[in-house]
Structure 1
Amino acid sequence: MYADDTAALCAGNDITTAKRRAQRAADALVHWARQSKMLVAGEKTQLLVLSQSAADAADCAIKVDGKLVPAADRLKLLGVTLDRLLHFGAHCRSLRSRVRPRTQQLRKLTGRSWGLEERQLRAVASGYVGGALLHAAAAWLPATPQSHVELLEREMRAAARTITGCPLSTPAHAVMAEAGLMPVAARRDVLAAKLLARAHALPEGDPLRAVAEGGPPSRLKTVTGWRGVGHDTWRAAGIVLPIEPLLPARAPPWEVAACPHVTFSLDIGALRRDAPPDELHQAAQRHLASLPQQAIWVWTDGSADAGVRSGGAGAFVEWPDGATDELRVPAGQLCSSFRAEMVALRAALTHLRDHPHQPSAPITICSDSQSALATLREGPASQKTLLGAAIWTELAALAGPSRRIHLQWVPSHCGVDGNERADEIAKEAAALPQAAVPVDVATAHRAAARLARDRTIAAWPEGWYRTLMEDRLPPPAATGDRSSAVDVHQLRAGHWSGSRQYLHRIGRNPSDDCRQCPDTDCAAGLCTVCREEADTPRHFFFRCPALMGWRLRRYGTIFPNPEDVRDDGEVAALAAAVRDLQSRTATPQ
């Protein structure tokens, strides 16, 4: 026996037309089921009217296999709760009740002496909490009003406080940045832009692509969707059409022709990680000298401004007879260094295929992109992009029993002649017209994510956290234990549990004269070490005279810059020094 469910969407200019079409669809389903000797459970069927008018949903019902199915207030489809106005308030409330227990379970993994490391906590929070909140979010989140989005923001902030150990009073922008979590409102723009790019990358005639390319007028200005939000994000991020098509369905590995005549090498011998350029140059020359010299040598490189835009792909070809060719190809207005390198590899291989005047000479391709070569080394069946599949198609066409192709990594910017020449050609190619070069979905997604990050940082209010971090998001705290990581986050966020002024402000450090107040001049909040002013994080970082010698020894000045002190290792050292001084003042002499 088999069981499954299905859904039908029937639309009309009025409720009568839509209801008639829905009844016709239900009758067709029941007729097909009876012919296939199957039963339709009419009593389990649900009906939802999507309309701005409440009168359309009143007394609306259809019959399914003789059972009357009245219209309900909401309907759950593939884990998403739909309501009549598509405001998704009920769905957000359902998600919140679902995620709260997960946040509680995450909190149980944060013991100061035995808890998970911060990178592990971030991974669990992103998958276990964020994954549940953002299930199918690209479809429904862009249409959700901000009042309902705020319900999800609260749960994300709860997860952020769990990761960082920051108290409830910590400003939301600081705790989210310290936890490495993006606000839900910012994720909405990124997801909409990515879905729009994926829709445009689908084949001609695909229904989702037709929706993405359509532009029906909006009846209400307050109603948004993934298409409108995606286009707004595209304009702000500089994403333009065309979009590179997605890779068609890949053949299984056992049907892909093996290419034993294509080899890869991602090293040039044992080298230190911090080897100087001259040592890298010598190692590269020795390794290249061991390869066949009577070969077609190809040097490829990719260039991208700041690694994100104005991509250029360059290739320098040396034929066995001494002739040379230079190839310059634009890689796209929005382009990563990785993609520019892949474009250069494809252009070089296409050039070799189009000039087969030395068909038996081996080919050695040198590139300074380990990531590109590592991706290609996985084989033709493992390529996930159209560009990677095209490169393997060219490799398979060029390689054979009488010709071997070797792809070799070489270090960059160490004086290797061919690599330096390819780098110059790539920079020249970046100045070529880029308008006709398609943007791939991954690049569009990263551009939208960068825009969301920049907007999030720009929205930080003026205050301690913006002064300390400027325009940077902090990486995970790399301190050895959970207790030190919590001190780092609390100090940077400005709400440290080791501060007397903070404890007094929340009523945990009352005095005889003052039970609780936010005044930084209150005697109950003065620094226990210097007794000159409130012991705020700003005081410890920059002004406490008791830490003057410590700052001088550590930074070479008693007035360090924010850039010198915001590193997690420096903040952890400061917290340890302050606690040491506090313990001394608490010990009777």
Structure 2
Amino acid sequence: MARAQRAADVMAAWARKWKMRLAGSKTQVLVLSQRHEDARDIVLRVDGTAVKGTRHLHLLGVTFDRLLHFGEHCSRLRRKVKPRVAQLRKLTARSWGLQEPQLRTVANGYVRGALEYAAAAWLPAASESHVELLEREMRATARVVTGCPISTPRDPLMAEAGMVPVRARREALAVRLTATAASQRTDDPLREVAARTAPRRLRTTTGWRDVGREALTRLGLQETPVEERLHITLPPWSDCSGVAIRLDVGAAISREARDEVRRAAAEEHLATLPDQATWIWSDGSAEGGVASGGSGALITLPSGEERTTRTPAGAVCSSTRAELVAMRAALEEVQQLEDATSATPLVLCTDSQAALATLATGAGEQRTTLGAEIWRLLLAAPDRPTWLQWVPAHCGLPGNERADELAKEASSLPQAAAPVDVRSLTKAVGRAASKAWRDRWPDSFFRRIMRDRFPTPVLNETREDAVNVHQLRAGHWGLSTSYLHRIGRRPTPTCQQCEDLKCPAWV
């Protein structure tokens, strides 16, 4: 108490020096200790106002308690979410209401979004019994989305709704905060806090730093460098008129069209672009679309000289990010070959519509370091006309096939030094946590038909048909005679009216 009082006096003196007043009536005091006696009869004077210690402290929407078990906070969240689940329930029933895609969107944004407010800070420390309060509301939400009865087991129920339990989200949220801290500048306070190894005052509490480090260690990503976040965006008035981004090749081509049809359409469109230009064919590759990213590019100069680039894109990496890394590496190579005043046209061809769509939002709208760096390279030569052109993949275009080979070669390069973005790290840990949850599913009819995979959502069906599909797969179909008998709703003539516990309806 003496140390806390000295700190309060220093704070009050500093405020008076700078012509400010502390609001003692709004000041809260909470003692963090495993000894109940330590929190008894706590009174501090803050700028002349007596402030008594309380059992809970409210800060930015989060309720703290003495042991940081967040029991009161979880109870408050449950009371907040219950009306939302009730409102969601009014949007649908067994035979009418919103379709499943809309229900999932509302459930994730309206219910889970409220439960996970600032969850990266408190959920890793919350005790299991308190997290169970939130799990109950998520299961109630899942029953609304799927239409499954209350007797449906929790694992099939959550899987049918396309949701993972709150517990399975704990590691992903902790890693997101850990990686976000690592992406800050070296002198950033959040980064310093994340890197610090502080003595643990509460032996029963585990914070987000420990949970995040353990999750990354299990995946072998504890030493992976994190890409620094974008601190300064490009100005919105940047002149991007010299860069044309085309997401098609003229005529509409379906994915089912024959290779020669897609190749002919692409070649016809590419013939309209400048021949005397620097041509770049870039491609990205990622194992399963999520790991061992490789980026390759073929550069053909106006003189006919060819250059190639091979760049690792990260131990965990999406295909779109690998494509963007390939573009950046190729543009950096071209910048080294040409000066900033070069007016030689530039044509960059890629088979990733997602990567081009990310860049098509404009230079000032980029929210990642990678996207901003690509636009800086594109705008480095303001007098140079530039085309970013999408081409269909794997249809026999020589440049695209060569870039694909280079990307696959790059995926086998060492990935340890390649920086990874926060989003990729978070998704990798989330996939691992989701798989660990599915591996723990008990043996049942649902697991035998799903084989620890997430069931596909029921799309383009009536609400009644979607409910029937979910209930059938979960093994609790409300229209099944055997199910009704099992829960005691429809006894057979030989049944003992389900009053005896040995009746098959109770098994």
> TM-score normalised by the shorter chain: which range applies?
over 0.9
2:11 pairs with 1:25:
yes
Equivalences for 1:271-282 in 2 at 5 Å?
271-273=252-254, 274-282=256-264
Give the Cα separation in 2 of the matches to 1:266 and 1:299: 15
Where 1:397 maps in the other structure, the secondary structure is: coil
Within the candidate set 502, 508, 532, 2:489 is matched to 508
1:216 Cα deviation from its structure 2 partner: 2.7
1:215 Cα deviation from its structure 2 partner: 1.8
> For residues 173-195 of structure 1, what are the alpha-carbon distances to aligned partners after superposition, in whole Å with 9 as ceiling and x for unaligned?
00000001110001111100111
> For residues 113-154 of structure 1, what are the alpha-carbon distances to aligned partners after superposition, in whole Å with 9 as ceiling and x for unaligned?
430111111111111111111110000000011111111111
Aligned alpha-carbon RMSD (Å): 2.1
Where 2:379 maps in the other structure, the secondary structure is: helix
Equivalences for 1:354-433 in 2 at 5 Å?
354-356=336-338, 359-400=342-383, 403-433=384-414
Give the Cα separation in 1 of the matches to 2:17 and 2:480: 72
Are residues 344 and 71 of structure 1, via their aligned partners in 2, closer, same or farther at CA, if it must alter by over 3 Å? same
1:18 Cα deviation from its structure 2 partner: 2.8
2:478 pairs with 1:497:
yes
Where 2:67 maps in the other structure, the secondary structure is: coil
TM-score (norm. length: structure 2): 0.95
2:191 pairs with 1:224:
no
Partner of 2:242: 261
1:303 Cα deviation from its structure 2 partner: 1.1
Where 1:301 maps in the other structure, the secondary structure is: strand
2:218 pairs with 1:236:
yes
2:233 pairs with 1:247:
no
Partner of 1:474: 455
TM-score (norm. length: structure 1): 0.82
Give the Cα separation in 2 of the matches to 1:291 and 1:349: 18
Give the Cα separation in 2 of the matches to 1:107 and 1:263: 48
1:324 Cα deviation from its structure 2 partner: 0.8
Within the candidate set 183, 190, 195, 1:201 is matched to 183
Give the Cα separation in 1 of the matches to 2:369 and 2:435: 30
Contact 1:57 1:71 in 2 (8 A): yes
Where 1:253 maps in the other structure, the secondary structure is: coil
Give the Cα separation in 2 of the matches to 1:16 and 1:388: 52
**Structure 2: which 5+ runs fail to align?**
none
1:355 Cα deviation from its structure 2 partner: 0.5
Are residues 517 and 482 of structure 1, via their aligned partners in 2, closer, same or farther at CA, if it must alter by over 3 Å? farther
1:79 Cα deviation from its structure 2 partner: 0.7
Give the Cα separation in 1 of the matches to 2:226 and 2:499: 58
Equivalences for 1:90-239 in 2 at 5 Å?
90-218=72-200, 221-239=203-221
Which 4+ runs in 1 deviate beyond 4 A?
517-522
Are residues 518 and 312 of structure 1, via their aligned partners in 2, closer, same or farther at CA, if it must alter by over 3 Å? farther
1:211 Cα deviation from its structure 2 partner: 1.2
Equivalences for 1:2-21 in 2 at 5 Å?
15-21=1-7
Give the Cα separation in 2 of the matches to 1:68 and 1:380: 54
2:276 pairs with 1:290:
no
Contact 2:234 2:372 in 1 (8 A): no
1:161 Cα deviation from its structure 2 partner: 0.7
Give the Cα separation in 2 of the matches to 1:334 and 1:518: 57
Contact 2:294 2:313 in 1 (8 A): yes
Are residues 397 and 272 of structure 1, via their aligned partners in 2, closer, same or farther at CA, if it must alter by over 3 Å? closer
Contact 1:332 1:437 in 2 (8 A): yes
Give the Cα separation in 2 of the matches to 1:19 and 1:41: 16
1:475 Cα deviation from its structure 2 partner: 2.6
Give the Cα separation in 2 of the matches to 1:266 and 1:370: 6
1:165 Cα deviation from its structure 2 partner: 0.7
Contact 1:312 1:431 in 2 (8 A): yes
1:502 Cα deviation from its structure 2 partner: 1.1
Which amino acid counterpart does residue 227 of structure 2 have in structure 1? E
Where 1:159 maps in the other structure, the secondary structure is: helix
Are residues 41 and 355 of structure 1, via their aligned partners in 2, closer, same or farther at CA, if it must alter by over 3 Å? closer
Are residues 316 and 418 of structure 1, via their aligned partners in 2, closer, same or farther at CA, if it must alter by over 3 Å? same
Contact 1:305 1:311 in 2 (8 A): yes
Where 1:115 maps in the other structure, the secondary structure is: coil
Give the Cα separation in 1 of the matches to 2:330 and 2:431: 31
1:32 Cα deviation from its structure 2 partner: 5.3
1:221 Cα deviation from its structure 2 partner: 5.0
How many equivalent pairs are there? 503
Which amino acid counterpart does residue 263 of structure 1 have in structure 2? A
Which amino acid counterpart does residue 294 of structure 2 have in structure 1? G
Give the Cα separation in 2 of the matches to 1:517 and 1:193: 52
Partner of 1:350: 332
Equivalences for 1:55-74 in 2 at 5 Å?
55-74=37-56
Give the Cα separation in 2 of the matches to 1:252 and 1:259: 11
Give the Cα separation in 1 of the matches to 2:499 and 2:331: 72
Farther off after superposition, 243-252 or 224-233: 243-252
1:106 Cα deviation from its structure 2 partner: 0.7
1:343 Cα deviation from its structure 2 partner: 0.8
Which amino acid counterpart does residue 20 of structure 1 have in structure 2? R
Give the Cα separation in 2 of the matches to 1:480 and 1:28: 65
1:20 Cα deviation from its structure 2 partner: 2.5
Are residues 133 and 247 of structure 1, via their aligned partners in 2, closer, same or farther at CA, if it must alter by over 3 Å? same
Contact 1:63 1:69 in 2 (8 A): yes
Question: Per chain length, whose mean CA-contact separation is higher, i.e. which structure has more relative contact order (CA < 8 Å, sep 6+)?
Answer: 2
Give the Cα separation in 2 of the matches to 1:353 and 1:474: 48
1:381 Cα deviation from its structure 2 partner: 0.5
Are residues 27 and 475 of structure 1, via their aligned partners in 2, closer, same or farther at CA, if it must alter by over 3 Å? farther
Which amino acid counterpart does residue 165 of structure 1 have in structure 2? G
**Structure 1: which 5+ runs fail to align?**
1-14, 526-533, 535-589
1:88 Cα deviation from its structure 2 partner: 0.4
Contact 1:505 1:517 in 2 (8 A): no
Farther off after superposition, 47-56 or 406-415: 47-56
Contact 1:112 1:481 in 2 (8 A): no
Which amino acid counterpart does residue 115 of structure 2 have in structure 1? L
Contact 2:343 2:381 in 1 (8 A): no
1:235 Cα deviation from its structure 2 partner: 1.6
Are residues 293 and 88 of structure 1, via their aligned partners in 2, closer, same or farther at CA, if it must alter by over 3 Å? same
Partner of 1:542: none
Which amino acid counterpart does residue 265 of structure 1 have in structure 2? R
Where 2:489 maps in the other structure, the secondary structure is: coil
2:305 pairs with 1:320:
no
Farther off after superposition, 238-247 or 408-417: 238-247
Give the Cα separation in 1 of the matches to 2:308 and 2:397: 17
Highest CA radius of gyration, 1 or 2?
1
Which amino acid counterpart does residue 384 of structure 1 have in structure 2? R
Partner of 1:557: none
Are residues 460 and 437 of structure 1, via their aligned partners in 2, closer, same or farther at CA, if it must alter by over 3 Å? same
Give the Cα separation in 2 of the matches to 1:44 and 1:290: 69
Where 2:293 maps in the other structure, the secondary structure is: strand
